Amino acid sequence: MQTPMAKLDDTLVRLGGVEKSFGAVKALVGVDLDIFRGECVGLVGHNGAGKSTLMNILAGVVAPDVGQFLIDGTEQRGYSPSGAKSHGIRCVFQELSVCPNLTVAENARVFHPSIRGFGWRRRAARLITEKLDEIFPGHGIAPSSLIADIAIGRRQMVEIARAFTVSDQPARLVILDEPTSSLDAQTAGQLLAHIRRSVASGLSCILISHILGEVLTTCDRIVVMRDGTVVAAGPAQAFDRARLIAAMGSAETKAERTTGPKAGLPRDGAPVRVRMRPARQQGDLELIAHEGDIVGLAGLAGHGQTALLLETFAASRRRNGRRNVTAPVAFVAGDRQSDGVFPLWSISRNIGIRSLAALRVGPFISQRLEDGLAGRWRARIGIRTQDTQDNILSLSGGNQQKALFARALASDARIVLMDDPMRGVDHSTKLEVYDLIRKEANSGRTFLWYTTETEELTNCDRVYVFRDGVIVAHLAGADVTEEQVIQSSFSGAP
Amino acid sequence: MSQAVVALFRRPWIWSFVGALFVWLAAVAFTGGTGAGGMLTAALSLAVFTVIVGLGQMFVVTLGPGNVDLSLPANIGLASAVAMKTMGGDDHLIALGLCLAVGAGIGVGMVNYLLIRALRIPPIIATLSASFFIQSIDISYGRGLQIKPPDGFADFTNIQILGVPLLALIILVFTLGASVTLHRTIFGRSVSAIGQNIRAARLAGVRVDLVRFATYVLCGGLGGLDGALLAGYFHGANVDIGNEYLLASIAVVVIGGTSVAGGKANVPGVWGGALFLVLLLTMLNTFGVSAGVRLLLTGLIIVAVVTVAGGAKPERQ
Amino acid sequence: MQAAAAASRATDMRRMIRAMLPALSLALVVAAIAYLNPRAISYFGFTLMLNLAIPIALATMAQMFVIAGNDLDLSIGPFVGFVCCITATLLHDTPGLGVLALLGCVGIYAALGALIHLRNLPSIVVTLGMSFVWQGATILLLPKPGGSAPQWLQDIMSVKTPFVPFPIVAAVIVAAIGYFGLMRTSYGAILRGAGGNPVALRRAGWSLLRAKMTLFALTGLFGVLSGMALVGITTSADANIGNGYTLLSIAGVILGGGEFTGGRVSPVGAVIGALTMAMAASPLLTFMHIPPDWQVAANGAILIIVLAARVLITRRDEAL
C-alpha cells in the first residue's frame, strides 16, 4: 500500500479548529489534534487549559461550537455518548463516573448495553473481574461489592478496568483523565504498564496527567495545552520535564516570583494563628501558621488538604476551637460552582456576603456601603466588569475567582484559607493575585494555601506535604522545590 | 413611560396579578357586573389568611430544594384552638390568646427544625411527621371545642374601611416589613445565600443552622397567628380549619414567582398568588361548577404554572 | 493494613445491622402484639390484622419507584382513591372502558415523569397539584360513596391459602416481583443507577428521560394495582378511601431502608416496611389501648423512632 494511504488509515480521530465557549468563558479557542492508531498521547497543561473540555467533546458529552471532528475520516454530526461508544471511544473521567449505589458488576453492565437477558449478572461480573485481574493483579475487589462500600482507590481501579472491557463494541481509544490521582505507586505502575501493552496491541490512549514523570515515560507523543489551545506537540523523546513546564507556561512565574519579598523561615516571634492536626495524624507533626505566614498545603489531589482547611474553618466557628484558630477566618473556594459563587446574585452582593455586619446602617444593610466595598475591590484586584451590579456569572471564570478573593480579603478575616483557588484562572490573573497575597501577608494576614500546582508553592514561606490524610513532610525556605514536594508526596519522607 | 411598563412586565410577580385580574374580569363578566366590588372585598378578606402563611412558606422554600413546611395545616388548627380556649370569649384576653397562639406556632417551628437537624431527615418528612403529632394534640386538646371568639376579636377581623378589610391593610404593612427583612437584613440575605448554595453559604461565614432555625420558627409563628385570626374570622376553632392552607401556601409561593430551586424569593407575588387563587375559586363558584371540577382545575392550574415557571436550568457539564 | 481490615469489618457490621433494621422493626411490632394479645398470633389473627396490608404494600412499592429516581409522589393516596373509584364504577360496569382508563392513568404518570425531567421541576409541587386533580376527578366520578368492585376482584382478594394467611403470601409475591424487577434485571440496574449518578448514566449513553418515565410509569402501575386490591377488599369505594396512603407509602419505603436520594431503595425492605406500618397503624395501637385521638401521632412517632435509630446506626462524620 502507498504511504499516503497508510498514513490516512492510521488516523483514528482528527480535530480541526475546534472551539467551545461556556457563556463568557472560552474553554477552547481553535484546537487541532490528530490521534493515530496504536499510540499513547500525553495531554498536559495547567488546570483550565481546556483538557477536560477536549475530553468531553471526544466523549460526546459536550458538542463543539465550531470546528471539524472526524473519526476514521468521517465527519461526525449529532455525536453523542452512545456514538462515542459505538466508535470505541472510552473515557475515564476525573470525577468518578460509577454509580455508588450499584455493585461493581452492575456498573460494568451500565457501560455495556449489550449485557442483558438471562445470566447478565454473571457475564458482567466475569467481564469486569477478568479485566481487573489483567490490569491490577491482586486487586482484591469482589464484583458483588457495592461501589459505596469500597475505598476510593479501588473505585478508580473499577472505573479504569471498565473502560478497557470489550463486549460487542470495540475499544479503540481510551482517554484517561488523571487516572492515577487516587492510586498508590504500585497500582499506578500496573496501570501504566497495561497502557503500554494495550498500545502495543493496537489500542490508542490519551493520558491526561499532572504527574509529568508518568507522561514522559508512558507516552509516545505529548501535546501541551494552554489557554484553550495546543501550544506544543511532539514525540515524547523531544521533551523533558523542564521543557514541558516551560511549554505549559510557568517559566514566567518563576522569573517574576523573585520580585516578591520572601521571609522564608517560620516567624517564631509572631503570634500563632493556626495550630491544627489532621484527625488521623500520629507523631508530633502538626500544622502551625503564624501571623503573616503564607503556608502551603501540598501533595497529590485529595489527600486530606481540603479536609484540613475545612476542619480549620469549622474550628474557627466553634467556641472551643478558638484555642487553635485565634482570629476570624475567611475561605476562598477553588471549586467555584459548588463552594463559592452565589449564582443569582450580583458581583457586589457576592463580594459583600462575608462582610454584611460591617455594611449595615442601623439594622439594615446599606446598598451604598456594599457597592462602595465592591467598587474599591474591583479597582484593587482588577475585576474586569463594567458594573458591579451585573450578575456574577457574567464574569469569566478567572474574574469570578477574583471576586471570591475580594470577598475574603475585604472581610475582617485575619486568616485566609485557600482551597486550590487558581483552578481555571489565567496566567496574568495568577500573577496579580500572587502579588496581592504577598502584600496582604506583609500586612499581617495569614494564608493557608492548598494548591495542586506545585510551582505555585514557591510563593509560600513554608509547605506541609500531605499523603493519605496526614502530614508527611514539612519543607521550609530553600527546600520548597517542586522535586522535593513531589518526592515527599510519593515516598512520604522529606 | 413605556420603558416603565416593560420593566414592570419583566417582574416575575406581575403575572400573578395579571392572572388575578383576568379571573376577576371573567367572574364579573359572568355576573354582568353585579357584585364586582363585593367580590374584591371578599377576595381581600380571604386572601389575607393565605398571604400570612404564604410569607412564612416563602422564606422556608427560599432555603433551597426540599425545604417546605407541611405542618402548617396542623399548626393552624392547633393555634386556632389555643387562641379560642385562652380567650374564652373574654375581650380582655384577646392579646394573651394571640400571644399564646403565636407561641404555639413558634413551638411547632422549633420542633420541626429539631427533627430536621437531629435526625437529618428531609424537611418534608420531618414536618409531615411533626404534623401528625400536632394533629393528635389538637384533636385531644380541642375535643368538642365550640367556644366562640370574643365579640371584640371577631369584629376586629371583619372591620372594613371603604370596602377594604382592616386586616388586609395591617398585613400589607407587615408584607412591606417582610420585604425589607428579605432584602435589607442579614437574616434575609442569609436565607437567600443558603437557598442558592448551602455549602458556599457556610464557607462564606453565614450562620446556616441559626438562620434555618429562625426561618422554620418564623414560618411556625406565622402559622400560629393565622390560626388565631382564622378562628376569629370564621367564629370558632376547628381541627380542619387549616387544611386548605397546605397546598395554598405552597401554590401562592410558586405562582408568585419565588423559585422552588431556592435562593430567590418574591414578596409581592405572594399577594398576587393569593388573590389569584381566591378569585379563581370565586370565579368557579360564580360559574356554578361542582366541587370536583373546582379541585381538578385548581390542581391543573398549579401544575401548569409550575411547568411554565420552570425549574432551575440543568447545570452545565 | 490491619486497621483497614478492621475498619472494613466495622463497615460490614454496620451495613448488616442496617440491612436487618426493617426486619427487626417488624419483629418488634409482632412481638409487641404477641405480648399484648397472644391470640392475635394465629392464621385468623394475621388474616385480620393484615387485612389492608396488600394495598399498602403495593402503594409502598409504587412510592419506592419514584424515590429510586430521587423524586417523591405526594399524590399517591388520592391516586389510589381515584383508581378505587374507577374500579368500582367503570371497570365494574364497562370493563373495556375501565381497563382503558386504568392504562390511561399509567400513561399520565409516565407523562408526569417526562414533564418533571424535561422541565426540571420539583416533583413535590407537581404531585401536590396532581393530588388535587385526582381528588377532583374522584368526586366527579363518584360523588357519594358506593359503586361495587368486580366480583372476580373480590374473589381474588378473599382467597384462603393453606397454612399461611393470604396477605403474607401476597406480600411475598409482591416483594419477589419488585426484587427481581428492580434488583435483578439488567434494566433495573440502569433505573437504580439513574438515581445514584445520573451524570454517569448519561455519559454511558443512557436516556435519563426514558429512565424517569419508566420509574413514574411503574409508580402508576403499582398505584393502579394498589387501588384495585383495596377496592377488592372493601368491595365499594368512597372518595377519601386512599387518604392515608401517601404517608403510609413514604413511611414504608423509609422503614424498609430506602433513602430519599442516591437511588438507594430496597423492594424487599419496602414490603417489610409496609407490613410494619400496616400492623402498627391500627392493630398494635388498638391492643395498646391507645385512644383513637393519638393513633395519628403514634404513626408519626414510629416513623421518627425508626429514622432516629437509623441515624444512630449509620452516623458518619459529616464533612461540613
Yes or no, beta carbons of A100 and C196 under 8 Å apart: yes
Mean pLDDT for all residues in chain B: 87
CA distances to A424, B247, B271 from B18, rounded to whole Å, are: 45, 21, 12
Please report the number of interchain residue pairs, chain B to chain C, with beta-carbon separation below 8 angstroms: 131
Q: Categorize the per-residue pLDDT at A282 as very low, low, confident or very high, splitting at 50, 70 and 90.
A: confident
How many other CB atoms are found less than 10 A from the CB of residue C110? 21
Taking CB atoms and an 8 Å limit, are C320 and A310 in contact across chains?
A: yes
Q: Which residue among B189, B206, B317 sits closest to A56, beta carbon to beta carbon?
A: B317
Share of chain B above pLDDT 90, in %: 45
Cα R_g (chain B), whole angstroms: 20
Contacts of B210 (CB under 8 A, 6+ apart): none
- How many whole angstroms separate alpha carbon B226 and alpha carbon B228? 5
- Structural domain harbouring B206: 11-309
Of A407, A425, A388, nearest to A341 (Cα)? A407
Q: What is the mean pLDDT of residues B170-186?
A: 94
Nearest Cα residue in chain B from C73: B124
pLDDT in the model for residue C38 = 87
With beta carbons under 8 A apart, name residues in chain B contacting C132. Answer: 247, 295-296, 298-299, 302
pLDDT, tens digit, 9 for 90 and up, residues C267-301: 999 999 999 888 877 777 777 777 777 777 877 78
The residue with greater pLDDT, C41 or C180, is C180
Contact (Cβ atoms closer than 8 angstroms) between residue B147 and residue B234: no
* Closest among A409, A404, A440 to A422, alpha carbons compared: A404
Dihedral sign for Cα atoms in the order B158, B161, B165, B168 = negative
CA distance C204 to chain A (A): 6
Counting residues of chain C whose pLDDT is more than 90, the rounded percentage is 51
Is A257 a residue whose pLDDT tops 90?
Answer: no
Q: Look at residue A426 in the predicted model and tell me its pLDDT.
A: 67
Looking at the 3D structure of chain B, how many domains does it have?
A: 1
Which pLDDT score, from 0 to 100, does residue C80 have? 96
Q: Is B65 on the interface with A (CB under 8 A)?
A: no
Interface test with A, best of B186, B196, B203, B211 (most A CBs within 10 A): B203
When CB atoms are compared, the residue of A97, A100, A107 closest to C203 is A97
Instruction: List the single range of B72-81, B129-138, B171-180, C111-120 with lowest mean pLDDT.
Output: B129-138
Q: Which of A85, A101, A120 minimises the CB distance to C264?
A: A101
Q: Please tell me the pTM assigned to this model.
A: 0.83
pLDDT at res. A143: 93
Asked if C305 reaches chain B (Cβ–Cβ under 8 Å), the answer is no
> Which residue ranges make up each domain of chain C?
50-319
For a pLDDT cut of 70, what percent of chain A falls above it? 90
Q: Residue A468 — pLDDT band, cuts 50, 70, 90?
A: confident
pLDDT of residue C306: 74
CB contact under 8 A, C136 and B121: no
Q: Is B313 on the interface with A (CB under 8 A)?
A: no
Instruction: Name which residue leads in pLDDT, B8 or B117.
Output: B117
Question: How many Cβ atoms sit within 10 Å of the Cβ of residue C160?
Answer: 8
pLDDT single digits (tens) A398-434: 788 889 999 999 999 999 999 888 866 666 777 888 8
Kindly determine whether residue B122 and residue C294, on different chains, have CB atoms separated by under 8 Å: no
Looking at the domain assignment, is residue B6 inside a domain? no
pLDDT at C5: 53
Residue A250 in this model has a pLDDT that exceeds 60 = no
What residue of B is the nearest CA neighbor of A311?
Answer: B203
Residue with cell 467556641: A319
CB contact burial C281-311 (16+ within 10 A = b; e otherwise)? bbbbbbbeeeeeebbbbbbbbbbbebbebbe
Mean pLDDT on C180-192:
94
The alpha carbon of residue B199 is apart from the nearest alpha carbon of chain A, in Å, by 6
Q: Is B140 near chain A, with CB under 8 Å?
A: no
Under DSSP, the state recorded for C52 is: T
| pLDDT confidence of residue B311 | 52
Out of A52-61, A130-139, A357-366, C13-22, least confident range:
C13-22
Residues facing A21 on adjacent strands: A26
Q: Do A331 and B204 touch (CB under 8 A)?
A: yes
A82 closest CB neighbour out of C190, C200, C205: C205
CB pair distance less than 8 Å for B296 and C120: no
Q: Which chain A residues have a beta carbon less than 8 Å from that of B197?
A: 338-339, 341-343
- C-alpha cell read off for A354: 462575608
Residue A365: its chain B contacts at CB < 8 A?
A: 184-186, 189
For residue B292, give the nearest of C120, C136, C307 by CB distance: C136
CB contact under 8 A, B292 and C247: no
Please state, in angstroms and as integers, the Cα–Cα distance from residue C151 to each residue in A434, C232, C235, following that order: 81, 8, 9
Inform me whether the pLDDT recorded for A94 exceeds 80.
Answer: no
Select the residue of C4, C196, C320 nearest A102 (Cβ to Cβ).
C196
What pLDDT does B1 receive?
A: 55
pLDDT for C178: 95
Say if CB A122 and CB C213 are below 8 A apart.
no
Strands A173-177 and A89-92: parallel
- Residue A233: C-alpha distances to residues A205, A229, C137 (Å): 16, 11, 68
Q: Is residue B315 assigned to a domain?
A: no
Query: What does the DSSP assignment read for C109-166?
Result: HHHHHHHHHHTT--HHHHHHHHHHHHHHHHHHH-SSSB----HHHHHHHT---SSS-H
Q: Is C129 on the interface with B (CB under 8 A)?
A: yes
Is the per-residue pLDDT at C307 higher than 80? no
The four Cα atoms A422, A427, A429, A434 give a dihedral, to 10 degrees, of 70
Report how far apart the first and last C-alpha atoms of chain C are (Å, whole number). 28
Q: What sign results for the dihedral spanned by CA atoms A290, A294, A297, A301?
A: positive
Touching C (3+ Cβ pairs <8 A), the chains are: A, B
Q: Is the predicted pLDDT of residue C67 greater than 50, yes or no?
A: yes
Q: What is the mean pLDDT of residues A285-311?
A: 86
Measured between beta carbons, the chain B residues lying within 8 angstroms of C135 are: 295, 299
pLDDT over threshold 70, residue A27? yes
- What's residue C6's pLDDT? 56
For chain C, how many residues are written? Answer: 320
Residue with cell 418534608: B124
Average pLDDT estimate for B70-93: 90
User: Residue B57 falls within a domain, yes or no?
Assistant: yes
Give yes or no for residue A486 having a pLDDT over 90. Answer: no
Q: Which residue of B has its CA nearest to A366?
A: B184
Residues A183-192: tens digit of each pLDDT = 877 888 999 9
Q: What is the pLDDT of residues A109-130, one digit of tens each?
A: 999 988 988 899 999 999 999 9
Residue A477 has pLDDT above 80, yes or no: no
Q: pLDDT digits over B104-135, tens only?
A: 999 999 999 999 998 888 888 889 888 888 98
Q: How confident is the model at residue C83 (pLDDT cuts 50, 70, 90)?
A: very high
ipTM over 0.85: yes
pLDDT at residue C318 greater than cutoff 60: no
Q: Range with the lowest mean pLDDT among A132-136, A150-154, A227-231, B215-219?
A: A150-154
Burial, C148: exposed, middle or buried (Cβ in 10 Å; 0-12, 13-18, 19+)?
middle
* Predicted pLDDT of residue A193: 95
Which pLDDT band, with edges at 50, 70 and 90, does A263 fall under?
very low
d(CA A458, CA A441): 15
Q: How high is the mean pLDDT of chain A?
A: 85
Please indicate whether residue A157 or residue B12 has the higher confidence score (pLDDT): A157
- The average pLDDT across A131-143 equals 92
Put simply, the answer to whether C195 touches A101 (Cβ < 8 Å) is yes
Q: Which of residues C207 and A381 earns the better pLDDT score? A: C207
CB contact under 8 A, B200 and A333: yes
Tell me which of A277 and C181 has the higher pLDDT. C181
Query: Does the CB of B10 have a partner CB in chain A at under 8 Å?
Result: no
Poorest-pLDDT segment among A346-355, A473-482, B219-228, C75-84: A473-482
Q: Which residues of B touch A342 (CB under 8 A)?
A: 192-193, 196-197, 200-201, 263
What is the pLDDT confidence band of residue B288, given thresholds at 50, 70 and 90? confident
pLDDT of residue A4: 41
Res. B4: pLDDT tops 80: no
**What pLDDT score does C146 carry?**
87
Q: Is residue A49 pLDDT above 90, yes or no?
A: no
CATH number at residue B123: 1.10.3470
- Mean pLDDT of the region C114-143: 90
- Kindly tell me if the per-residue pLDDT of A268 is higher than 70: no
